[in-house]
Structure formats: structure tokens, C-alpha cells
Amino acid sequence: MSAKPWVIVGILAGFVAGWQTRSAIVSPPVPILVNVPAVNANSYDSRLPQQYQNSVPGQQQFRPVQAPYRPQALAEETQPEKPDQEVAFKGLLDTHRYRDAMDLYRLTESSGDIPIERLKSTLEKYLKTLISTENTEDFTELTDRFLAYYYDDIDVLLLLADFNQSTGLFLEAINVYQIVDSYAYTHGAAQKVLTKFERFLHETNEALEYQNDWFTLKILYQQAEALGLIKDNHRLRQAQVYIKSGESYYAREILLALQGNHRWGEDAKELLTQLDGGAEATIASAPPPRSSDFDSHVALQKHGNQFVIPLGLTEDSSLNLLIDTGASMTTISRDRFDQLSRHDNFTEVGHRMFRTANGLTKGTVYNAEHMRFGSYTLHSMQIAVLEFNMGGDIAGLLGMNILGRFRFQMDQEKSELLLTPR
């Protein structure tokens, strides 16, 4: 055989081998359909309670991906992204799902996936918005749910004090400051509370002085003093408030006690001199009001070191209440309120947070068309109904929203409440 046929065979064999090698080296791009599930059993979202798994936008079920076949890249592509807890939390707040929001808050805190301070910041901003928009119902519900788990949270308690101040519940604000002061365990926390309280006193002084409401301002200082919040730097102003409210006798007591103070003594002496027209200051120079200065006397019952007075809430029934000058609103226990013979005298107006012996609790506020207090009939008065038990035949507390309608004084020797309408 000649050499020519063998040459042809060799050329054909080389051509076939080259084509196969090219096929092995180069693969054309192939469209790959990747399945991305909305919820993966191993993902973070599957660990969230069902009610807020969909509080963030869902992902598409299928999407085409143009890529070479690489098993590792495909595995990375199919991992679903974790939901953004901050977005989910804000979404729950914005839709008023406060119970679910608190579930997510606690789950995030326990999991440690993100710093809880990020959700806390979102919560505080939302509460401030509720304060600025005067949204009483939502603010009360959210703070009630939060404080049920985090009762000693200083930041939220201070926001509650701000809310009470903004709604005119100054005594309730004072009560909250006393609570938060007891939880200020560190120097930094104590300074934060003191700064806020000083600002509260300054702003409330300005507001009530502008309204010429010296009586409310006097009661506010009395309550702050009773709770241990008044310092020497507040007492000079307290004496001035007593003078403005016509009670110079009590102003003298404060000023005489301040005379030896190295910081405020000279100011106290000057005010005493002005008060007495240059005469030497003595407490005896201005006696307290006498019983004959009042229009009405109401008999009281002694209850320990406190006094009980009846309040007629319907035409045929009355309840015994402890007099509490530190309560901004008169409060009734839920059980005793439900036992009243009729309720057509009351209209529900909303909810608020109130301090009780067991801490802060949410109460329902009602407007009473009329009620009997001593020899007086009061109209359009508010009461708060709470879940608490005073024991015995005590149904609740008589607060300053009723007492504040009068100039009053308690005669402890005769067990009488002396009243004159304001």
C-alpha cells in the first residue's frame, strides 16, 4: 500500500480528536432555574412566631439565573436572607400590634442576633411620636406591655413621666419620678433622673405660674417633698409658692429652716424680711387657718394614720375612699365599681397608667356626670377604675381632681375635712 492513504487517515483522526477536546473544554452558558423558598426550615425567619413572620416583604418564589454550573455558587445562592428585625419591629409598632412587637423584642434580646439597643431606639422614637401626637390610648397600651417585662427601664419610665406632664397629670409625673429614682442604681442613671426632674420642675413652674394656678403648684411641691424628691435648692421656690397661694405660715417654716444653709440662707433671710415688712421673723407671727375660715365640715373616719371619706357616685350608693393628696385622679377598684347599682352615670373616656402600692398599672378612666361630696354636688368629674384591692370596706383613693376643687384642711383632732369651694 502507498503512503497516501495513511496520511488521509491520520488527518481525519486528528480532526476528530481536536473537536472532542474543544467540547470538553468549553461549555455554553446554560440557564439555571434556582428555587428560593420564602421560608426555609433552617432560616432565622422560621424561628419567629407565626404572627410576624410576614412582617417584612417576601421573596420571589423563582428567578432565572444565568451562570455556569458551579455547585458551591448554587448553594450560596439558595440561602435565604434573614429578615431585618428592626424593619419587622417598626412594622409591628406602626400597625399597632404591640403584643407581637414585644414578643419580637424579647426574642431578639434572647437570640442576640442584633444588639437590642437598636430595637430599643426604635421603641423610644415611637413613644415620643405618640406623646407629640397626644395618642393616649396607644401610648398607654405600649408602655403597659413593655413595663410588664422591663419594669425598671429608666428610659421608658422617664418617657411615661414626660407623657403625664404633657397631659397635665403633674402628680402622676411626680409619682413616676419617685419610682424611677428608686431604680437609678448607677451614678450616671441618677444624674439622668435628676436632670429630667429639674427640667420637669422648671417647666411645670413656668406653666402653672403663667396660669396663676398656685394651688396646684403648692400641691405638686408637697407631693415631691413627701416622696423625698425635694432638695434644698427647691425649698426657696417652695416657700415662694406658699406665699403666692396665701399660706405664709408654711412659707415661714421653710424659710426659717433655710436660714442656716450656707448656699440659700441669705436668700431665705431676705425673703423673710420682705414677708414681715422688716420685722423679726417668727412662726408664731402668722397662725394657720382656723376652722371658722371654711364653709363646710365633713366628718372623717380614722384608718390607721389616714382618713376615710364617703363619695356618692350614684343617687343611692356611696363608696368609702382614703384621702390621698398624692393622687392626681380619684381611683376606684374594679370590683367595687362593678358592684354599683347602676352605671348610666359614667362614660368611658380612655386609659391611663397609674401608680398603686404594687407599682404601675393600667386603669380605665370614666367621666361621671355628677357625684356627691359632703354637702356639694360635683359635675363632670373623672375617676379611674383599676384592678387593685384596698381591703375591708375601702373602695379606692380620693385624689386631687376632686380635692383640688376646694381650699381644704384636715382637722386631725376632730377628724374633720374643712372645705371652701375655690
Grid coordinates in use for 67?
A: 451562570
Per-residue pLDDT tens digits for 4-40: 555 555 555 555 555 555 555 444 544 444 444 444 4
Per-residue pLDDT tens digits for 288-333: 666 667 889 999 999 988 999 999 988 778 899 999 988 889 999 9
Percentages helix, strand, coil for the chain (3-state, rounded to 5) are 50, 20, 30
Q: Report yes or no on 369 lying in a domain.
A: yes
> How high is the pLDDT of residue 232?
87
How many folded domains does the chain comprise?
A: 1
Sign of CA dihedral 338, 343, 345, 348: positive
Per-residue pLDDT tens digits for 361-407: 999 999 999 999 999 999 999 999 999 888 889 999 999 999 988 98
Domain that holds residue 303: 292-421
Q: Report yes or no on 396 lying in a domain.
A: yes
Burial label for 284, CB within 10 Å (0-12, 13-18, 19+), is exposed
Q: Report yes or no on 253 lying in a domain.
A: no
- What whole-number distance in Å separates Cα of residue 190 and Cα of residue 184? 5
CATH of the domain at 414: 2.40.70.10
- What whole-number distance in Å separates Cα of residue 159 and Cα of residue 173? 10
Nearest of 210, 166, 171 to residue 401 by alpha carbon: 171
Nearest of 191, 185, 211, 153 to residue 161 by alpha carbon: 153
Grid coordinates in use for 373?
A: 361630696
Burial label for 352, CB within 10 Å (0-12, 13-18, 19+), is buried
Q: Report yes or no on 62 lying in a domain.
A: no
Q: Report yes or no on 281 lying in a domain.
A: no
Nearest of 248, 257, 253, 239 to residue 277 by alpha carbon: 248
pTM for the model stands at: 0.74
- What whole-number distance in Å separates Cα of residue 7 and Cα of residue 144? 96
Specify whether the backbone of 154 is left (phi greater than 0), alpha (psi in -120 to 50) or beta: alpha
The C-alpha angle with vertex 7 and arms to 6 and 9, in degrees rounded to 5, equals 65
Specify whether the backbone of 359 is left (phi greater than 0), alpha (psi in -120 to 50) or beta: left
User: Using 50, 70 and 90 to split pLDDT, how confident is the model at 340?
Assistant: confident
pLDDT of residue 212 exceeding 90: yes
Per-residue pLDDT tens digits for 235-262: 999 999 999 988 888 898 899 999 888 9
Q: Report yes or no on 82 lying in a domain.
A: no
368-388: burial string, b at 16+ Cβ within 10 Å, e else: beebebbeeebeebbbbbbeb
Per-residue pLDDT tens digits for 347-361: 999 999 998 877 899
Q: In this structure, which amino acid lies at residue 415?
A: S
Note whether 256 and 264 are within 8 A (CB): no
What does DSSP say about strands 330-333 and 394-398: parallel, antiparallel, or unpaired? antiparallel
**DSSP three-state, residue 395:** strand
**DSSP three-state, residue 5:** helix
- What whole-number distance in Å separates Cα of residue 112 and Cα of residue 28? 46
Q: Report yes or no on 347 lying in a domain.
A: yes
